């Protein structure tokens, strides 16, 4: 599944991932390959990305490495998933 995380300043991440978990307004949820189409608002929390991931050096300070993936703290945002492509607009 392809994930793109975009902030107002730059693209923070783009690449293939195994899964992504996000802080939805009604609770955290996770998406895997072939997830149903969805558009949702996000609240303050962490976007958690999993897989064989490489973070660009110029934005590496925004991510924290966890046991099995990387976490990105956000204040709010929007997520759209369609046809194995997930786009997170993060604030």
What pLDDT does 67 receive? 82
Mean pLDDT over all residues of the chain? 96
- Write the pLDDT tens digit of every residue in 47-86: 999 999 999 999 999 999 998 899 999 999 999 999 999 9
**Beta carbons within 8 Å of 87's beta carbon, 6+ residues apart:** 3, 4, 6, 79, 80, 81
What pLDDT does 82 receive? 96
Percent of the chain with pLDDT over 90: 98
* pLDDT confidence band for 13 (50 / 70 / 90): very high
Q: List the one residue out of 18, 42, 16 whose CA is nearest residue 29.
A: 42
Q: Which H or E run contains 47?
A: strand 45-50
Domains of the chain: 2-90 (2.60.15.10)
């Amino acid at each position: 599944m392809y994930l793109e995380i975009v902030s107002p300043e730059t693209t923070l991440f783009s690449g293939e991932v195994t899964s992504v978990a996000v802080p939805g307004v009604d609770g955290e949820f996770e998406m895997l390959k072939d997830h149903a189409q969805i558009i949702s608002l996000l609240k303050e929390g962490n976007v958690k990305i999993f897989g064989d991931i490489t973070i660009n050096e110029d934005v590496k300070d925004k991510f924290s490495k966890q046991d099995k993936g990387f976490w990105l703290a956000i204040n709010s945002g929007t997520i759209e998933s369609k046809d194995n492509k997930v786009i997170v607009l993060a604030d």
